[in-house]
Structure 1
Amino acid sequence: MTRQVWPTRTMLLIALCYLFCLPVFAQKNSIKGIILDTAEKKKLHYSIVALIDLRDSTLYQSVRTNEAGFFKITNIPQGRYTLLVSYPRMADYLQDVTITDTSNLDLKAIPMTTRAQLLQEVIVQAGLPIRMRGDTLEYTADSFAVQPGDNVEELFKRMPGLQVEKDGKIYAQGQEVKKILVDGDEFFSDDPAIAAKYLAADAVDKVQVYDDKSERAKFTGIDDGTRTKTINLKLKKNRKNGYFGKLSAASDGKEYYNHEAMGALFDGTRKISVFGLSSKTGKQTLSYNDLGKYTTEDYELIDDGIGGTVFYSNRDYEPENYRGNGLPSIQSGGAHYSEKWNFDKLKLMSNYRVKQINATGWQNSTNLNVLPDGTSFTSKSDRQEKTYSFSQRASGSFTIKADSFTTVKISANGSFGTSSEQSTSISGSINEKGFQVNSSEQRNENDYDSRKFGTNISVQRKFRKEGRTLSLMVQQDYNNRTGDAYNYSANNYYDPASGTFKNADTLNQLQKSINSFESYAARINYLEKLSSRWSLGFEYGWKNNVSGNVFNTLNNVNDKFTERIDTLSNDYTFSSTTHISGATLVYNEKKFGASIGGNAFFTGFKQMNNDLHEQNTRRFNNFSPQANLNWRPKQGTGLTFSYRGETTQPSVDQLQPLRKSSNKLYVQIGNPDLQQGFRHSAYLSYYSWNTAKGSGFNTGVNIRYTSNDVASKTYTDAQNRSVSQYINLNSIPNINSYLYYSWQNKKLHLKHSINLSTNKGGNYAIQNDNKLKSISLNVSATYSINHEWTKVMSTGYRGTVNKNWGWSDIPNRPNTSYFNHSHAVNATFYIPWHLELTSDCLFNFQPKNASFNSSINTIQWNAFVQKKFLKNNQAVIRFSVNDILNNNNGYNRYVTGSNVSESNRFVIKRYWLLSATWNFSKSLK
């Protein structure tokens, strides 16, 4: 007798059918009903109906009513529940129900009453401190005790799942919050830290946390996989009309100071805000990312498949000279104005930011580099530097809702910046035999100016047929950057076998560069709903880019830089025209959504050498596939998967066939024969949140791999002189993963969190004609615990452990590993007479290892005492001391591939400040 073996695919289909059909046969009980508006006598479609388990106040399940206002919840375990019905502008409806094994409750018509009708009666509230509304986690602010006069940042510290770092960064469920909105609108360019620091905690009604989609995805319904962790602060009704602000002055009477001012007027739909900061304590701004974004969320740049690297973009981040090195003098300011008219049919949004930095400092470093033949060089450098930067940025948008179907939005943004850096350095190298092979003295001065401007016009149209949309976008982008780099270096070379002097050379040049970019683009998107669950989207676009790169190297003749070196100079123009076409198939239902599709890019690329009048033309076709999946099996739980494939292009500098160097010890060569690469990116995440218990976790993994990536081919001689050229090599997959879990013990007032992460990556490179492979792995674990004893004290601990491994196939080069850990402890004591004492200590431990013979351990201890007075604690006098033990240092060390490096730099150490602050606010009728 023979036995039939079922194919694996058939068995899998049967298993899936069983899993999906099982709930149908398991349904033994249900609740159903129809939601009605008692005033207007109509059925309320898409109302939220939630079933809350009374044993622990957890949300069992929630549904939305259909177009007839009907709902039904099935397969409910036995127990006692509260049925909650919610609908915009309606008072919440609550009813307790008991479910047995065979209950089939028909509640028939459930009446809903407007909130206005209940103002003179009894307002029904759910009273839950945390609840889920769809994919939004919502906190009721008044459920979390804060001290009078506290800001929103202090409120966040008391909410489960939210965390505020010492540098002002805010995290929600382990992910960094990128923007904070106030009543759904920007507040100083949606900058997280400003709203958190300057809005009063008692002005907030609700705190909503969610992953915001791109503006395009929200309108079209086509998920592009873009997510931005966002917090929306809903203000109390009596705080939406009034003014508030802060005035603060702090100084030690000598060198250190920190003065800041901020004022805001909220008058219905009008918001006006200004701020200013002057500091000499290293505090760059009221926010940690300050001028990092200036285009806000007005629009996204149209993608032409070039990869975003060939041409300069208006979204590029402008580097700021101060990087924590030296003593900075910083002045920063900004303004925000927004208003709505005609029942929100017209909306104006504008932002302005300005910043100036002066800093002086020093840095020294030691670097060990091992070559494939066993030769090694130990290089030491001492550097003094002085930097200056000034930047201004502005953005604005005007939105017109022509009717209930059509929206027009006009946006513009621009920036101006100038920077300079002067430095002197002395360096030298010795080989593995202990003989000196070179020494160098350098002087450099770099001056740069940049200007950017971009505009965007979008038209969005919805049709009477549900799910049919049409959108049109037209945009312009301009970028110009000029620079002068004065480079002087005097180099001595020595015999590597004896250390005796051989010869010397000098470089004294001016490198003048002009980088320009212009772009014009248009895109049209059409979405058609095929059925209740399926939609199909189409896209067509066009984009033209023109980029110029002029680089002139001039020799010093009679103390003037007039002699152009033709071999080290050129004038290049790059242009491309791309036609874009794409399609996306979308599937959506209550708990599951998916999209699959992609874009095809048909590009003509022209590369022009204006000096030689040579032209190189290429045509290529690119394809960018995309797939996204979102599964929400129940409230507070979700699974997300996204994949994107895209081409990557070498940059303008990498393509130019030039030898560039500010010192003859290192020369960089471009490569006009570089080819495009292709990047694969995949992301998978899962979250689960128990609102009643205030616990939850979030985990995910991100994988990136680039074929034909841009790498380097380097040759280093016996004098440790290196010449490097860009080439194409496949990358090594980069894998990042994380797991965040938080929970709380309400009885003991404890809040815990654990954050685990891993990062594995590496690269290929060619060194002295040998292909080398380097891989690194970092594993990090962080645990934090916070305790809140209302009106008595609050304490916290945060510990982080890092373990790093490195592997390299350099002959005779051992694998490396090193370990470090840090611990932060903080405490605040609330003393009678409105006194507060706060202290925090950061312990950093870097034990010795195979690469470093000594341990580096530091303790940074800060403390302040303050007294609050006046009505509502509006005034504060504070005395603070930074780095009490005078133990702060700028030491850093790391091991990667064939390099072992350590460095030290000037940092701000111990100082004290006496400050006076006045927080003012007033509500207007």
Structure 2
Amino acid sequence: MKNLFLLVVLCLFSAALCAQNPPLTRFTLQGRAVDTASAPLASSTVMLLSAKDSSLVNFTRTNDTGTFSFKNIKAGNYVLKISFVGFIPYNQVIKPTGDAVVDLGELKMKPITRELMEVVVRTAKAPLTIKGDTIEYNASSFKVPPGSTVEDLLRKLPGVQVDQDGNIRAQGQEVKKVTVDGKSFFGDDPKLATKNIQAEAITKVQVFNDKTEQAKLTGIDDGKKEKTVNLELKEEFKKGGFGKVTAGAGPASNNVSTRYEGKGSYNKFNSKRQFSALLLGNNSNQQGLSFNDYQDFRGSNSFNWNDNADFGFSGYTQYISFGDDNESLTIPISGGNGRGFSRNMAGGLNYNYDTKTTKLSTSYYFNQTRLQLDALRNNKRYLPGSTVLSTTDTSNQANLNTNHRVSLRFEKQLDSLQTLIVISNGRFGFSSSDLQSTQRVFQNVAATNEVPTTLSRTLNNSSANQFNMANTLLYRLKFKKKGRSFGASATYQINKNDGDLLLKARNEFFQATNVNDMLRVLNQDQGTNSLSNQYKANLLYAEPFAKKFFWETFYNFNLRYDEVDRDVANLDDSRRQIDSLSLYYKNNYLFNRLGSSIRYSFKGLNISAGLAGQQFQLDGKFARDQTQPLQSIRRTYTTVIPNIGLNYSMKNNRSLGAGYNVGVQIPSSRDLQPVSTNTNPLYITQGNPDLLPQLNHNINLSFNYFNPGSFITFWSNIYGTYYVNQIVYSQTYDPQTLIQTTMPENLTGGRNLGTYLYFGFPLKKTKATLNLNTQLNFGHNLTRINKILNETNNENYTVGARLELTPKDWFTFYGNANVSVGNTRYSINTTQNQTIYNNSFRGDLNLKLPGSIYLNTSLNYSVYKNEKLGFNQQIPILNSSLYHILGKAKKAEIRLSAYDLLNRNVVVSQYAGQNYTNTERIQSLARYFLLSFTYNMRGVQDKMRRDGY
């Protein structure tokens, strides 16, 4: 409570500091922007700047008559700046007159001519410019401390919000991508760019609505927009070399002799070539390539937003899933979760070559993580009637994960209409794990005392080698007729995984009546070799007809070949094979899809309707061993998939969207194979060869409003899904041993309905902003427990608020609160209905002290509560750092950091599922201190280049 009280005090102090403006007099400033003929210039951008340092004090837009007004202005000297596309920016000095209302009358703006272009260039640097739906910020007008990142800069910008996890919202919408100089510099995660690029490297920040990539390919506006942020680099950073080196160490903590962190990166760019290098090592839980590190060495061409080669309905993979969780070829980002104790190494190289007709990007990177995980987990499973099974699991796990990755992307523009792209990604990895686990199971019937039923001690030693590669050839052709286009792609992908598990388990069943069931000892060697080859081909043709209609047709082909050999041997019986657990199978998956859609687009209204027929064929063969006769599993699934969409961009920055589509999930090969696995001897899984595909009927409705003059934003979204033949995992329990056996089956009737609302508005422009949000979600989930249908209803309510205070350059405060309540109701055991609370409160305070000293402090207070389980965990995490900028050039920094000052860090989670609840506590890195030194290598200066250096 003391820490929560401290957070409240900080909020009140900050609000008071922002609100304290004890002026002797205040006045209203108004005027009217017109052209030389006195015609009104509606929607002109009007800014009020401080005459002292040109910082932005207030801003607005003119109405239809060109009129603007600033009310309740503190008496002082200001500069009024008005900008309008095609006109020379207007500037006027404003001084106090003592009048309550200062009316400037008509303010005439001159159109730009060739003779006046130089004047425009000299005067065009306004802090903020609004052009249609694009807002452009002049980065130098928003002050941040030396060494700040783009993320810190974005927090200063009106209309932009960045939460503590780095997620960005602009004009009420989530930012989907961040580009640098118009290029997709760091892939598809905005945080990869914003968390590491230095703010001092940026000259402008542009926020706008970008078209989807399929719309760019076909030239057809599909009405869908992606909120995008573009970062424009300063010239000295575009063509020079820049980077950062950090080294830090601290005293012993958590049984580690010395705490350390080291990281270095270097980038050198010119108009054609880009080179980046990265190296890091630490034992402070910054695992592998974190978001900050990964983006450092990915160059501007390593990922292109048009690389989606699966055409049709914006990519068919959104509407069909094979159900398998094969190793992804995308970059895994594992940093930031803070679980357990880890030691990490990583490094990488990237080289790019970029001209108008040729683009090449290559990279190699390596990362290794050693993770120690000590966990305490509690699980309650609710059976029909009033029976509850409680499991306590205490585990110790040591993991090693090593990966090598290589990527290549080559793009060649054959001519003005044709483009050829080659993409190749490869990965080789090794992992090993040693797990010791002790599980105790208790049975509770009709609220009686818990009776111990099972004691299981398990020792698992596993290792695996993985190799993955994907190669894609992509061809695009745009015809001279606008809107007519053709695309073709071919892909080959291979996934290979060879793993081995040594399983030793001793299981005691206290309630067993058969002497043979009282004790079961396992000593097994489980080896699995798998190979998957996949071949894909896609075609797309788009044709405009009439004036407002467009026709698109597409074809998708996919052939996948899987071969899996799973051998389980009993080590206590001369490695005798256990047939019930062994399996050899080969699967051929053949997928064909043909579809078309018609689109209407006119004056902001965009309506599309499409239909696709798809057929999925499975030809599978399996046996307990390769030497035995193979049995067959053949399935053919044919489905018709509709797709309807509506997008309407209305006047005054309002938009409406709606859609309906059907997604298909094909059963995974593991779910179809009739084989049991016993990696955890108390939880057996078994396949079901009679599974049908799962259909997801999805609807959504959204509305967005943004006022560029007041920066008031409102965003709402309603979504829902209804499941037909949903693949769920039903459970049966052995009456003697209470061993759980899980098998997938199809059930119809599950559903999910939710809504999200967001409302943001400035309390005081450029000084204080309040953002409110709420999310509601209602789920109805089905599963069978001992052949009895259980219906689980989940109701989740979340309310959040965020206060951003930036009253002075030397002071910023960001506070947010999120309260989440989840109600779970079980049909088979209503006595176990429960309510779960997951609440978090956070405050971040940044102060500039005299002598170029800066203080950063954050308090994160989390509350996890479940009265039914008697679970109540409160975790305050207090971090603080004090750093000093060194030298006249401000290139160096020395920092003292303290993490978890209260020594309370533990990773906690709780969750309620279909017939169970889980709570988890993981011991993690707690209080430690670091003293670090950072040196920033900045871009080559213009003067140096002119002198020939």
TM-score tier (shorter)? 0.7 to 0.9
**Distance in 1 between the 2:516 and 2:618 partners?**
50
Return the letter of the residue paired with 1:534: F
2:683 corresponds to 1:693:
no
Residue 162 of structure 1 is matched in structure 2 by 160
Work out the percentage of aligned pairs sharing the same amino acid: 25
Return the letter of the residue paired with 2:861: F
**Distance in 2 between the 1:176 and 1:515 partners?**
39
Alpha carbons of 1:682 and 1:334: their partners in 2 closer, same or farther (altered >3 Å)? farther
Residue 891 of structure 2 is matched in structure 1 by 874
SS in 1 for 2:44: strand
**Distance in 2 between the 1:394 and 1:600 partners?**
37
Alpha carbons of 1:521 and 1:92: their partners in 2 closer, same or farther (altered >3 Å)? farther
**Distance in 2 between the 1:521 and 1:226 partners?**
27
Could you report, residue by residue, the CA deviation over 1:584-625 in whole angstroms, capped at 9, with x for unpaired residues?
112222322222213222343311225432233333322222
2:520 corresponds to 1:510:
no
SS in 1 for 2:670: helix
Could you report, residue by residue, the CA deviation over 1:653-703 in whole angstroms, capped at 9, with x for unpaired residues?
101110111243221110111111211222322222222323312221222
Residue 726 of structure 1 is matched in structure 2 by 744
Q: Is 1:311–1:517's contact at 8 Å kept on the other side of the alignment? A: no
Return the letter of the residue paired with 1:628: G
**Distance in 1 between the 2:777 and 2:831 partners?**
22
In the TM superposition, 1:700-779 aligns within 5 A as 700-718=717-735, 719-746=737-764, 749-779=767-797
Return the letter of the residue paired with 2:641: S
Residue 663 of structure 2 is matched in structure 1 by 646
Q: Which of residues 642, 649, 671 is equivalent to 1:632?
A: 649
Residue 416 of structure 1 is matched in structure 2 by 428
Alpha carbons of 1:569 and 1:221: their partners in 2 closer, same or farther (altered >3 Å)? farther
**Distance in 2 between the 1:80 and 1:713 partners?**
65
Residue 596 of structure 1 is matched in structure 2 by 609
**Distance in 1 between the 2:333 and 2:744 partners?**
23
Residue 217 of structure 1 is matched in structure 2 by 215
In the TM superposition, 1:317-336 aligns within 5 A as 324-336=338-350
**Distance in 1 between the 2:329 and 2:622 partners?**
27
What is the TM-score when the length of structure 2 is the normalising length? Answer: 0.82
Return the letter of the residue paired with 2:203: D
Return the letter of the residue paired with 1:458: L
**Distance in 1 between the 2:166 and 2:895 partners?**
19
Could you report, residue by residue, the CA deviation over 1:149-168 in whole angstroms, capped at 9, with x for unpaired residues?
32212101112343334444
SS in 2 for 1:654: helix
Alpha carbons of 1:403 and 1:85: their partners in 2 closer, same or farther (altered >3 Å)? farther
**Distance in 2 between the 1:674 and 1:557 partners?**
36
SS in 2 for 1:216: helix
Alpha carbons of 1:630 and 1:896: their partners in 2 closer, same or farther (altered >3 Å)? same
Residue 488 of structure 1 is matched in structure 2 by 504
Alpha carbons of 1:742 and 1:322: their partners in 2 closer, same or farther (altered >3 Å)? closer
Could you report, residue by residue, the CA deviation over 1:169-208 in whole angstroms, capped at 9, with x for unpaired residues?
4444566545432112233445534422332213212223
Higher mean displacement: 245-254 or 185-194: 185-194
**Distance in 1 between the 2:476 and 2:116 partners?**
38
Residue 808 of structure 1 is matched in structure 2 by 826
Residue 12 of structure 1 is matched in structure 2 by none
**Distance in 2 between the 1:276 and 1:736 partners?**
43
Q: Is 2:146–2:885's contact at 8 Å kept on the other side of the alignment? A: no
Alpha carbons of 1:176 and 1:599: their partners in 2 closer, same or farther (altered >3 Å)? same
Alpha carbons of 1:178 and 1:588: their partners in 2 closer, same or farther (altered >3 Å)? closer
**Distance in 2 between the 1:213 and 1:485 partners?**
48
Return the letter of the residue paired with 1:325: R
Q: Which of residues 467, 472, 478 is equivalent to 1:451?
A: 467
2:434 corresponds to 1:426:
no
Return the letter of the residue paired with 2:554: E
Unaligned residue ranges in structure 1 (runs of 5+): 1-30, 34-48, 62-75, 97-106
Residue 233 of structure 2 is matched in structure 1 by 235
Deviation at 1:402, TM superposition (A): 1.9
2:282 corresponds to 1:282:
no
Higher mean displacement: 253-262 or 76-85: 76-85
**Distance in 1 between the 2:35 and 2:373 partners?**
71
Deviation at 1:251, TM superposition (A): 0.7
Deviation at 1:720, TM superposition (A): 2.1
**Distance in 1 between the 2:883 and 2:324 partners?**
53
Alpha carbons of 1:738 and 1:80: their partners in 2 closer, same or farther (altered >3 Å)? closer
In the TM superposition, 1:491-890 aligns within 5 A as 491-495=507-511, 503-557=518-572, 562-609=575-622, 611-634=628-651, 636-718=653-735, 719-746=737-764, 749-847=767-865, 849-852=867-870, 855-890=872-907
2:477 corresponds to 1:461:
yes
Q: Is 1:191–1:287's contact at 8 Å kept on the other side of the alignment? A: no
Could you report, residue by residue, the CA deviation over 1:791-848 in whole angstroms, capped at 9, with x for unpaired residues?
4322221111111111111244243223343221221221111011221112223456
Deviation at 1:135, TM superposition (A): 4.9
**Distance in 2 between the 1:605 and 1:681 partners?**
26
Could you report, residue by residue, the CA deviation over 1:730-788 in whole angstroms, capped at 9, with x for unpaired residues?
25212232122222234671122112112222421110111000011111111111222
Alpha carbons of 1:175 and 1:382: their partners in 2 closer, same or farther (altered >3 Å)? farther
Residue 44 of structure 2 is matched in structure 1 by 52
Q: Is 2:290–2:334's contact at 8 Å kept on the other side of the alignment? A: no
Residue 340 of structure 1 is matched in structure 2 by 354
In the TM superposition, 1:248-397 aligns within 5 A as 248-253=246-251, 254-284=257-287, 287-288=290-291, 297=305, 299-300=307-308, 302=310, 303=316, 306-310=320-324, 312=326, 315=329, 324-341=338-355, 344-397=356-409
**Distance in 2 between the 1:740 and 1:462 partners?**
40
In the TM superposition, 1:184-203 aligns within 5 A as 184-189=182-187, 191-203=189-201
Q: Is 1:167–1:288's contact at 8 Å kept on the other side of the alignment? A: no
**Distance in 2 between the 1:811 and 1:80 partners?**
64
Return the letter of the residue paired with 1:264: N
**Distance in 2 between the 1:264 and 1:639 partners?**
43
Alpha carbons of 1:794 and 1:722: their partners in 2 closer, same or farther (altered >3 Å)? same
Deviation at 1:911, TM superposition (A): 0.4
SS in 1 for 2:217: helix
**Distance in 2 between the 1:291 and 1:709 partners?**
37
Alpha carbons of 1:289 and 1:641: their partners in 2 closer, same or farther (altered >3 Å)? farther
Alpha carbons of 1:638 and 1:380: their partners in 2 closer, same or farther (altered >3 Å)? same
Q: Is 2:46–2:82's contact at 8 Å kept on the other side of the alignment? A: no
Could you report, residue by residue, the CA deviation over 1:449-499 in whole angstroms, capped at 9, with x for unpaired residues?
2221111122211222222111121222221222112211111111279x9
Q: Is 2:846–2:857's contact at 8 Å kept on the other side of the alignment? A: yes
SS in 2 for 1:755: strand
**Distance in 2 between the 1:840 and 1:376 partners?**
41
Residue 31 of structure 2 is matched in structure 1 by none
Residue 101 of structure 2 is matched in structure 1 by none
Q: Is 1:94–1:126's contact at 8 Å kept on the other side of the alignment? A: yes
Q: Is 2:287–2:334's contact at 8 Å kept on the other side of the alignment? A: no
What is the TM-score when the length of structure 1 is the normalising length? Answer: 0.84
Unaligned residue ranges in structure 2 (runs of 5+): 1-33, 48-57, 70-80, 92-107, 252-256, 311-315
Q: Is 1:162–1:170's contact at 8 Å kept on the other side of the alignment? A: yes
**Distance in 2 between the 1:667 and 1:80 partners?**
71
Aligned length: 843
In the TM superposition, 1:11-22 aligns within 5 A as none
Deviation at 1:891, TM superposition (A): 3.3
Q: Is 1:58–1:690's contact at 8 Å kept on the other side of the alignment? A: no
Residue 5 of structure 1 is matched in structure 2 by none
Higher mean displacement: 204-213 or 366-375: 204-213
Q: Which of residues 462, 476, 479 is equivalent to 2:495?
A: 479
SS in 2 for 1:148: coil
**Distance in 2 between the 1:241 and 1:751 partners?**
37
SS in 2 for 1:198: coil
Return the letter of the residue paired with 2:659: S
Alpha carbons of 1:732 and 1:32: their partners in 2 closer, same or farther (altered >3 Å)? farther
